[in-house]
Amino acid sequence: MPLPLYGVAAGTFHSFTRDPSHHFGHWYHGHLTLATPDGLCPTALDVDAPTDVGVSYRLVDDLTVDRIAAVRALADGFHPLASTPDSGALDYARSPMLQDTAWLAEAAALFRKARIALNRPAPGSPAYGPDLADRLAAGLPVRAFPWVSSNGDNALDVLLPHVRAASRIYVFGQRFDDGLGVHDVHLNQGDPVGSPWYQDNGTWQDGAVVCEHTDGWVVAWQVRFNTQVLTTDDAGHPH
């Protein structure tokens, strides 16, 4: 079933840490803590995984506050969000603010569909990291935000200046089962059949860190595992 506790935590920057170095190369996280009226809200950011999985990140840095109006209107704290286009929820494949130039996004989707059809990978293989479409997008003078392979620290290094400078931060993901906090701050769809997370696939329930700056500039930081495909059906399953 889709994530039952999906939503967004809004607040201001309190602190940021990283997992101890001896965990590096396994499941590696950044730990961003927000200050909210309900208390400190810790968030866990997945940025590296075992080598048979892999992680990619992306920074969309041309946004303005009008693109996040629905969540910007909420008070600081955690708020459940309906998995719908108008609730403020995010969807990497469907949110207009996260899409590259239309023709480029459509071409990339067709390229990835063709690649899967011609060489269908085994379920759970790390087949969906940065590819030719990302490399081409990086060199084109259009709205394009290519995915980058994460080694853990590079993804956090890109995010850290924005969370430190932000006037307000929005962390999208799933609330902890017990206590205030957010995890699953990454793509939450596109997991393959046979994956332990296949049952959690769903649309309009993706995680991200969105930073609002005092001048109205907004930056969205996205993460996905390389076993997840970005082309999904209405249930969030790969197709």
In percent, the amount of the chain with pLDDT more than 70 equals: 89
The yes-or-no verdict on residue 105 having pLDDT over 90 is no
Residue 74 phi/psi, 5-degree rounding, is -80, 150
The yes-or-no verdict on residue 116 having pLDDT over 90 is no
Residue 48: pLDDT band by 50, 70, 90 thresholds? confident
Helix locations, 150-239, DSSP H = 153-165
Give the pLDDT confidence score for residue 166 in this predicted structure.
Answer: 98
The closest of 219, 231, 234 to 57, measured between CA atoms, is 219
Give the pLDDT confidence score for residue 142 in this predicted structure.
Answer: 67
pLDDT tens digit sequence for 167-208: 999 999 999 999 899 999 999 999 999 889 999 999 999 999
Give the pLDDT confidence score for residue 225 in this predicted structure.
Answer: 93
Q: What is the dihedral of CA 221, 216, 39, 86, to 10 degrees?
A: -70
Give the pLDDT confidence score for residue 22 in this predicted structure.
Answer: 47
pLDDT tens digit sequence for 32-45: 999 999 999 999 99
The yes-or-no verdict on residue 77 having pLDDT over 90 is yes
